[in-house]
Amino acid sequence: MSSPTYAKIISQKQIDFPLQTQEILKGEVPVYFKVMSPKTIEKKYPMIAGIDTLSLRKIKNIHLKVGKAIYVVDKPVGFFNDKDLMKEEFITHYWDTKNLSREEGNAFILNKGLEKFKLTSYFDSDDISTVSSFKISQAISAVKDLDIISKSASVIMVTEKTFKDESLGEVFISSFIPIKENKTIVIHYSLQGIKKPFPKRANLREQFFNEIEQSMKRINSFNID
């Protein structure tokens, strides 16, 4: 069912929805979004538990926002590597903030408005791997099981967004797959912890749709040197 607000967003009922290459090349963006309890995830969606590198579902009185989107960006797949994605110029552009500091390795501290958070990224590709823990390896295996096409990804990027309040943590996993000379398929997963009282689920869904659109726009608008 198409969203009336976001014309290109096509809502999906199952997280393992099939990839329709021709449709996404025409600009469609299939999206899955749901708010789940840890019990539901463990019982009905064990594959999602494998993506939870921050063990958010183990936190008391928490639910998880679970999102997935597949879209095409106007960038060659060669751009998506551990060096270019970790350039400060790209980080500030993508997260729309100038206030950041770099920590050791692929980690940044960002201040955006009233938010202060840490981003730590890990990369897995044929050429290089910065994966440093079993949980990250498990998450990469989980997305490959959910989407067979992710096995042909040039790189898979796992990013953990953490706050002082650990219950607000978020995990992003993106697979970058070549489709044409200057176009790349992105398969994007997102898990985020939320506590009661929950906002309206329709509002959370709309927020996720907006985040996906902004992600596409910021990747497409970044100038490659």
What does the domain layout of the chain look like in residue ranges?
9-221
pLDDT (tens digit per residue) in 138-152 = 999 999 999 999 999
Which tens digits make up the pLDDT trace of 19-60?
Answer: 999 999 999 999 999 999 999 999 988 889 999 999 999 999
Q: Per residue in 155-172, pLDDT tens?
A: 999 999 999 888 889 999
What is residue 128's predicted lDDT score, i.e. its pLDDT? 67
Return d(Cα 56, Cα 52) in angstroms, integer: 7
CATH of 9-221, one of 3.90.226.10, 3.40.980.10, 3.30.530.20, 2.60.40.10: 3.30.530.20
The pLDDT tens digits of the residues spanning 54-103 come to 999 999 989 999 999 999 999 999 999 999 999 999 999 999 988 899 98
Sequence-ordered alpha helix ranges (H) in 45-157: 46-49, 88-95, 134-146
Distance CA 123, CA 93 (A): 20
